[in-house]
């Protein structure tokens, strides 16, 4: 690979928009190499950097009163976020929490803008409780203590009550309404199996919650949960496709939502016309993916992060006060941020083709497939190697967003294949459940079938197929090269699970019950988990292996990388490891990302090209 890695990975992004009452915008930008807080007051204004840390900032939220911004930051990418308050007028920063052993998960502002609520595992590493505190500082107040281990998130606060979501699994949520004074909790969703309730907010009259849920359909819809009857009524359906982003201003009834159509996002904006109906119009954004949807105070503006294969993550804003769509077309938007594309022009980025291939049970598996420029196959000299890039989650979805690594590989002469195997989100809850517990290895068979599909393509070198994946995708890589060792020329495993037993024993205490709900538990499924752990079949691995990890990873502990690398090396198979002492589950620092991909490029040059 002769291409300069740095040219690609200096492309910047702007994400996580949040609007002030005056219409100013705060967001996160990685202009300096790590995500920091920036602000701007309009589409043509030069943005101002507000924080200056070596470590990443994880979130930012503007007070509804306008006089403060709260953000979170960890250390060494360990995900143990602490909360900070930024004064936009003076740029002064005050640390609000200082408990480095605890995770402080951002929640919501009080409508008056003088208090914040959040969830944290300050009392017990395995349990998240609900806290409130003055936005000016002081000691956090334990508002509601959880009665069980696992994830808990504060989602909204109407002044008197909070909405809290307990996530029991990737597809199993419960919502609670918590009294802001007494901490008394009331569950408002029936715990009757795997149903998702996401992004809940109080409705205009405070008598209902609005959220995204698959309570009434296979795909997520916008639903209204009546707080008296606790019935979930569909307000907006996406048909066969899920609505995956939603934001509502209760006072004005203005809202925005996105429909996930085969990975591409349709953004619609409008308002509630009555309790269970809405008028919506298309918003004019580039064809791609919409993230981080938010409605500003008074519902006058909608801000969203938009990404596409040839558009690095940028914030677009729609003005809802001017009305809806006109006879001339959809609701217009303005691009408020223009992050640098780095050393490669955006029009040089290729768009993937959406394909489907048949797998072992006749199911059609969706995937994105991209060939290097000028490759059309037809002879052995035209054949190119291919990277099979497997997403994590497993309830994640590969979508057509901006990915410098894809273009880097293409320009280096590799095709890129990005499957959404069974277990992926975006295709309904039935599809997402097809890899649960004892069905885990069916998703690995989907990967093997993808390789067979690729080997039948005249453009693809059948001896140049690379397995590549992060997190759960790293497990999929290790499983693929142990279960189907003859298919692969090389493998790249980022923060992957090698041993299900040690992973579940050593993952963060707060995550264990959540992960066991999908993967299987140590108490009930240990024998099965042992049988599918790649570490026990490491002697089957024949292709060279690259293993990357962060020493501070709280999700997949670094011991997973060390044990698989040692075991494979003992088999005499080439193994290269890269462990960053100042990173965790994600590689957050630009210099580290560049080093990582330079090392991977050299590894693939040696073993594949």
Q: Are 314 and 304 in contact (CB under 8 A)?
A: no
Range of the domain at 203: 5-335
| pLDDT band with cut points at 50, 70 and 90 for residue 380 | low
Residue 495 pLDDT exceeds 90? yes
Arithmetic mean of pLDDT, 537-559: 94
Whole-angstrom distance, CA of residue 447 vs CA of residue 454: 11
Is 541 part of a structural domain of the chain? yes
Give the model's pLDDT for residue 322: 67
| pLDDT band with cut points at 50, 70 and 90 for residue 256 | very high
Q: Does 415 lie in the same domain as 298?
A: no
Is 257 part of a structural domain of the chain? yes
Among residues of the chain, what percentage have pLDDT more than 90?
82
Q: Does 219 lie in the same domain as 306?
A: yes
Entry pTM: 0.93
Q: Are 286 and 266 in contact (CB under 8 A)?
A: no
Residue 314 backbone dihedrals phi, psi, to 5 degrees:
-135, 150
Q: Does 380 lie in the same domain as 269?
A: no
Please give the structure tokens belonging to residue 398: 């590969």
Which segment of 2-16, 297-311, 316-330, 373-387 scores lowest on mean pLDDT?
316-330
Supply angle C-alpha 13, 307, 387, rounded to 5.
Answer: 95
Per-chain mean pLDDT for the chain: 93
Domain boundary among 292, 308, 335: 335
Give the model's pLDDT for residue 327: 54
Give the model's pLDDT for residue 1: 54
Is 163 part of a structural domain of the chain? yes
Q: Does 374 lie in the same domain as 243?
A: no
Give the model's pLDDT for residue 191: 74
User: Which residues face 80 on adjacent strands?
Assistant: none
Q: Does 297 lie in the same domain as 367?
A: no
First to last CA, the chain: 8
Domain boundary among 278, 301, 335: 335
Give the model's pLDDT for residue 443: 96
Give the model's pLDDT for residue 324: 54
Residue 323 pLDDT exceeds 70? no
Q: Does 456 lie in the same domain as 410?
A: yes
The per-residue pLDDT for range 169-180, each reduced to its tens digit, is 878 889 999 998
Is 98 part of a structural domain of the chain? yes
Q: Does 228 lie in the same domain as 98?
A: yes
Please give the structure tokens belonging to residue 2: 């002769």
Give the model's pLDDT for residue 329: 72
Alpha-carbon distances of 101 from 119, 376, 378, 505, 508, rounded to whole Å: 14, 54, 58, 19, 12
Q: For tokens 């960053």, what's the residue?
A: 580
**CA-based nearest residue to 264, from 295, 282, 286, 287:** 287
Is 341 part of a structural domain of the chain? no
Is 322 part of a structural domain of the chain? yes
Give the model's pLDDT for residue 355: 97
The per-residue pLDDT for range 445-490, each reduced to its tens digit, is 999 999 999 999 999 999 999 999 999 999 999 999 999 999 999 9
Give the model's pLDDT for residue 608: 92
How many structural domains does the chain have?
2
The per-residue pLDDT for range 35-56, each reduced to its tens digit, is 999 999 987 789 999 999 999 9
CA atoms within 13 A on the CB side of 84: 24
Q: Does 365 lie in the same domain as 309?
A: no
The packing angle between helices 522-531 and 512-519, to 10°, is 60
The per-residue pLDDT for range 180-190, each reduced to its tens digit, is 889 999 999 98
Residue 216 pLDDT exceeds 80? yes
Q: Does 324 lie in the same domain as 386?
A: no
Q: Does 545 lie in the same domain as 452?
A: yes
Give the model's pLDDT for residue 294: 95
Arithmetic mean of pLDDT, 421-432: 94
Residue 325 pLDDT exceeds 60? no
CA dihedral of 509, 510, 513, 514, whole degrees rounded to 10: -140
Whole-angstrom distance, CA of residue 248 vs CA of residue 299: 8
CATH number for 19: 2.130.10.120
CATH number for 369: 3.40.50.1820
Q: Does 477 lie in the same domain as 510?
A: yes
Give the model's pLDDT for residue 377: 60
Residue 356 pLDDT exceeds 80? yes
**CA-based nearest residue to 584, from 519, 511, 475, 494:** 494
Residue 493 pLDDT exceeds 90? yes
Q: Are 57 and 70 in contact (CB under 8 A)?
A: no
Arithmetic mean of pLDDT, 311-315: 97
Residue 596 pLDDT exceeds 60? yes
Give the model's pLDDT for residue 328: 62
Residue 3 pLDDT exceeds 70? no
Is 342 part of a structural domain of the chain? no
Is 229 part of a structural domain of the chain? yes
Q: Does 360 lie in the same domain as 317?
A: no
The per-residue pLDDT for range 130-140, each reduced to its tens digit, is 999 999 999 99
Whole-angstrom distance, CA of residue 101 vs CA of residue 476: 31
Domain boundary among 335, 370, 401: 335
């Amino acid at each position: 690979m002769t291409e300069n890695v740095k040219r690609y990975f200096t492309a910047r992004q702007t994400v996580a928009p949040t609007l002030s009452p005056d219409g100013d915008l705060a967001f996160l930008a990685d202009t300096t190499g790590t995500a920091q807080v920036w602000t701007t007051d309009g589409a043509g204004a030069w943005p101002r950097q507000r924080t200056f840390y070596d470590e990443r900032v994880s979130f930012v939220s503007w007070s509804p009163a306008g006089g403060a911004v709260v953000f979170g930051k960890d250390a060494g990418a360990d995900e143990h976020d602490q909360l900070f308050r930024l004064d936009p007028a003076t740029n002064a920063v005050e640390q609000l929490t200082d408990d480095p052993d605890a995770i402080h998960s951002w929640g919501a502002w009080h409508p008056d803008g003088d208090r914040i609520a959040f969830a944290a595992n300050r009392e017990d590493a395995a349990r998240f409780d609900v806290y409130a505190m003055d936005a000016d500082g002081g000691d956090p107040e334990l508002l509601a203590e959880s009665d069980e281990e696992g994830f808990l998130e504060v989602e909204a606060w109407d002044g008197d009550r909070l909405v809290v979501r307990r996530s029991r699994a990737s597809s199993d949520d419960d919502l609670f309404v918590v009294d802001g004074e007494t901490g008394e909790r009331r569950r408002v969703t029936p715990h009757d199996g795997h149903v998702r309730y996401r992004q809940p907010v109080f409705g205009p009259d405070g008598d209902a919650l609005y959220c995204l849920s698959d309570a009434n359909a296979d795909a997520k819809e916008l639903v209204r949960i009546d707080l008296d009857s606790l019935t979930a009524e569909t307000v907006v359906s996406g048909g066969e496709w899920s609505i995956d982003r939603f934001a509502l201003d209760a006072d004005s009834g203005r809202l925005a939502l996105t429909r996930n159509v085969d990975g591409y996002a349709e953004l619609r904006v409008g308002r509630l016309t009555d309790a269970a109906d809405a008028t919506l119009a298309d918003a004019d954004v580039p064809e791609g993916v919409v993230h981080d949807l938010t409605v500003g105070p008074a519902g006058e503006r909608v801000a969203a992060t938009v990404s596409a294969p040839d558009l690095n993550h940028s914030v677009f804003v729609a003005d809802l006060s001017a009305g809806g769509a006109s006879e001339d077309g959809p609701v217009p938007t303005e691009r408020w941020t223009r992050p640098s594309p780095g050393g490669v022009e955006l029009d040089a980025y290729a768009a993937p083709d959406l394909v489907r291939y048949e797998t072992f049970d006749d199911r059609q598996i969706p995937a994105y497939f991209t060939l290097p420029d000028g490759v059309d196959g037809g002879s052995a000299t035209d054949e190119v190697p291919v990277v099979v890039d497997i997403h994590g989650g497993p309830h994640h979805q590969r979508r057509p967003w901006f990915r410098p690594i894809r273009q880097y590989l293409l320009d280096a002469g590799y095709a890129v294949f990005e499957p959404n195997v069974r277990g992926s989100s975006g295709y309904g809850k039935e599809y997402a459940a097809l890899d649960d517990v004892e069905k885990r290895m069916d998703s690995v068979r989907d990967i093997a079938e993808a390789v067979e599909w690729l080997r039948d393509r005249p453009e693809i070198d059948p001896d140049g197929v690379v397995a590549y994946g992060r997190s759960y995708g790293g497990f999929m890589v290790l499983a693929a090269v142990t279960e189907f060792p003859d298919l692969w020329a090389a493998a790249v495993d980022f923060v992957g699970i090698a041993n299900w037993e040690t992973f579940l024993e050593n993952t963060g205490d707060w995550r264990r019950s959540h992960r066991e709900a999908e993967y299987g538990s140590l108490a009930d499924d240990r024998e099965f988990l042992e049988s599918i752990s790649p570490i026990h079949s490491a002697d089957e691995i024949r292709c060279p292996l690259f293993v990357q990890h962060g020493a501070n990873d709280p999700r997949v502990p670094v011991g997973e990388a060390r044990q698989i690398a040692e075991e494979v090396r003992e088999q005499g198979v080439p193994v290269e490891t890269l462990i960053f002492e100042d990173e965790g589950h994600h590689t957050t620092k630009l210099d580290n990302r560049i080093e990582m991909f330079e090392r991977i490029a050299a590894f693939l040059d040696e073993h594949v090209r």
